[in-house]
Amino acid sequence: MRSERARHNKIIFSGTVGAGKSTAINALSDIATVSTEAVASDATARLKPTTTVAMDYGVLNLPGGEKVMLYGTPGQERFNFMWDILSEGGIGLVLLINNANPDPLQDLEGYLRAFRQFIASTAVTIGVTHMDSAPEPGLDAYRARLITLGLSPMPAIFRADARSRDDVATLVKALLYTLNPGLNDA
Amino acid sequence: MKRAHPGSPTAQPSALHLLHVGSMDARLIGLSIERHWTRSVRLVETLEDAQVVLIDCDRPGIEAALDQLAGHPRIGIVYYAFHPKDHAPRFQPRPVLGKPLNLESLPATLAQARADAAHVIAAAPPRPIAPPPAASAPAATPSAPAPLGHSLMTDDERDLCGGMDDIPATPGSPLPDKLFFNPDDYLIGRLQQALALASASGRPHLISGLPRLIGIEPRPVPVCITAFRENQLRPLAMTQLPESTGRIVSTPIIGEGDSPPLQRAAEDFLWNAAAWAARGRLPAGSDPYRPVRLRAWPNFTCAFASPHAMRIAALWTRTQASPVEIATRLGIPHRYVFSVYSAASFAGLLDTTAEHENAPAAPPSPPTPSDRPARPSILSRILRKLRDAV
């Protein structure tokens, strides 16, 4: 039996610590986002003072009263048991990678592996954040890694500023078109 | 290409009023005047100050513009349209130029229209008697539902993707010359040369002779640096550059004295410059029937997304197909796919290698609602929400 969460329309935001998942959901959500953040006490504390320890939650209100839930997973891998629970029944995955991390390409690979089954049945788009302060690796390096991982079709991968509603909306739009290029946007 | 030296009938520049012109064209013409035509044309703000006006026949509201001219028989009029022959009978003897405007010859045409109007003693108002020509969109029965993408174009869509009709679905017929553009006539051609030279030499290269700085730094990932503002780049990229403008020169450093220059990944910058130059056309030498694919999505957070560009990218990254096939599968006019093709080819995102044997099986068509029960409807609603909100 599917859980109550699984019956909702939801889009999953995941990615590395400090990539901007909470910020991205906040940029897109029609409500004040609900976050379960805590003071970071592990290695995360070096990157940011607080971090999501359960999930972030936002909502897109559609005409007619329908809602699309925006769920952000915790970035720390010790919480990865929650990723499957949160993603159950989701429309697709927006993956945010912090380019200022020591090995962002390895981060990309790790998250794509972790969400392999979910992506296979839905779709993923990738936003690379903090490229203004850390321009390397560039998008072509990410594309090359995606080719080695054999993802088909090749996911959309964009530079993204998680604070920008336009950028986050562009990632979600690419996700929707990846699921169905025939969608009518006219 | 040589600069035009119109034979002006008087020593004074023609006072031009852009009576019925899209914002993009207005910027483009304004930039041309500022750079090349200060001796032959000057822009004026009001009809009362004008000696000649410019009218875009394809823009809605042309009748109101013509009404304004009714009391000004001594003002010269120059029309322009995507299909000038359709409009010529209506407006003769006044000239109807084709789009895109040939900026080399425009000052001479304006001067001639001004001179012709000056000889009018008491002319009938320029309002035409004949009914306006039928829309030049692809033929469709009035009762048939408009296919996706064939709905009424906005001014921006016309400016950015033109209004060209579809070409035949299969090769064989000669293709119209206006389907193609020569990149060497535009900024994109200069950028392409600069990028090639910078990449080959490992040194920054500048495009000289433009009003502001623009150049390429090779770095590990090539970057375009410019002192042009964002809103100046589009009209510049759409303008045909004189042959003498835009020599590529090597330089030890880019950006000195200009603060703060804009920096963009060269891939994004070239995508935009090519899309703006193309206006729904293909680079000269392209084959619209040859299967190709996108090797990756463009960076749509910076790259210009023409109408349907994301749908096109979604389909073209998963299947090898010709531009005409992509348009057919998506049910959209060819010009939108040609725009993406042109941009992708200059951004280095087009894979033209033949992969017929190894290519994954192309989907017969994009998923339809019947393929994914309930899913597309919610996707469409989310998409509409995002489109309306952004």
What is the pLDDT, as a whole number, of residue B95?
87
What is the pLDDT, as a whole number, of residue A43?
57
What is the pLDDT, as a whole number, of residue B4?
40
Per the structure, how many domains does chain B have? 3
- More confident of the two residues B90 and B55: B55
Residues of chain A with C-beta less than 8 angstroms from the C-beta of B386: 169, 172-173
Q: What is the ipTM of this complex?
A: 0.88
Residue B290 tokens, joined: 């040859």
Rounded to the nearest angstrom, the minimum Cα separation between B315 and chain A is: 6
pLDDT in single tens digits along all 186 residues of chain A: 444 444 468 999 999 888 999 999 999 999 988 876 655 555 555 556 565 555 788 999 988 888 999 999 876 565 566 677 777 788 999 999 999 999 999 999 999 999 998 999 999 999 999 999 999 999 999 999 999 999 888 999 999 999 999 999 999 999 999 999 988 654
In the three-class reduction of DSSP (H, G, I as helix; E, B as strand; rest coil), residue B208 is classed as coil
Whether residues B19 and B107 fall in one domain: yes
- Structure confidence by residue, pLDDT tens digits, B27-70: 778 877 877 788 888 998 888 889 999 998 877 678 778 878 87
The answer, for B71 touching chain A at a CB cutoff of 8 Å, is no
What percentage of chain B exceeds 90 in pLDDT? 40
- Pick the last residue of a domain from B227, B253, B274: B274
Whether residues B197 and B250 fall in one domain: yes
pLDDT at residue B371 above 80?
no
pLDDT at residue B229 above 70?
yes
Cβ <8 Å between B381 and A156: no
| A53-62, B7-16, B72-81, B371-380: range with lowest mean pLDDT | B371-380
Q: What are phi and psi of A72, to 5 degrees?
A: -105, 130
Cβ <8 Å between B387 and A66: no
Q: Which B positions 348-387 lie with beta carbon below 8 A of chain A?
A: 360, 365-368, 372, 375-376, 378-387
* Helices H / strands E in chain A, number of each: 6, 7
Non-local (6+) Cβ contacts of B96 within 8 A are B57, B79, B80, B81, B84, B87, B88
* Helices H / strands E in chain B, number of each: 12, 14
- Pick the last residue of a domain from B248, B274, B300: B274
- Pick the last residue of a domain from B253, B274, B295: B274
What is the pLDDT, as a whole number, of residue A41?
56
The answer, for B325 touching chain A at a CB cutoff of 8 Å, is no
Instruction: Indicate whether B189 belongs to any domain.
Output: yes
- Structure confidence by residue, pLDDT tens digits, B261-303: 888 999 999 999 999 999 999 999 999 999 999 999 999 999 9
Q: Give the up-direction half-sphere exposure of residue B116: CA atoms within 13 A in the CB hemisphere.
A: 16
Instruction: Indicate whether B123 belongs to any domain.
Output: no
What is the pLDDT, as a whole number, of residue B219?
86
Pairing of strands A9-15, A67-72: parallel
What is the pLDDT, as a whole number, of residue B28?
77
- More confident of the two residues B151 and A184: A184
Residues of chain B with C-beta less than 8 angstroms from the C-beta of A186: 148-149, 151
Cβ <8 Å between B383 and A185: yes
Containing structural domain, residue B209:
183-274
Give the pLDDT mean for B318-341.
96
Tell me how far apart the alpha carbons of residues B319 and A178 are, in angstroms, rounded to a whole number. Answer: 12
- More confident of the two residues B118 and A179: A179
The domain spanning residue B334 has which CATH number?
Answer: 1.10.10
Burial zone of A162 (CB within 10 Å; 0-12 exposed, 13-18 middle, 19+ buried):
buried
Instruction: Indicate whether B302 belongs to any domain.
Output: yes
Instruction: Indicate whether B105 belongs to any domain.
Output: yes
Whether residues B305 and B268 fall in one domain: no
Nearest Cα to Cα of residue B223 among B183, B260, B261: B261
List domains and CATH numbers for chain A: 5-178 (3.40.50.300)
Whether residues B33 and B105 fall in one domain: yes
Average pLDDT for chain B: 80
Rounded to the nearest angstrom, the minimum Cα separation between B177 and chain A is: 29
In the three-class reduction of DSSP (H, G, I as helix; E, B as strand; rest coil), residue A122 is classed as coil
Instruction: Indicate whether B226 belongs to any domain.
Output: yes
Whether residues B264 and B241 fall in one domain: yes
- Structure confidence by residue, pLDDT tens digits, B356-369: 544 444 443 444 44
Cβ <8 Å between B379 and A179: yes
What is the pLDDT, as a whole number, of residue B170?
92
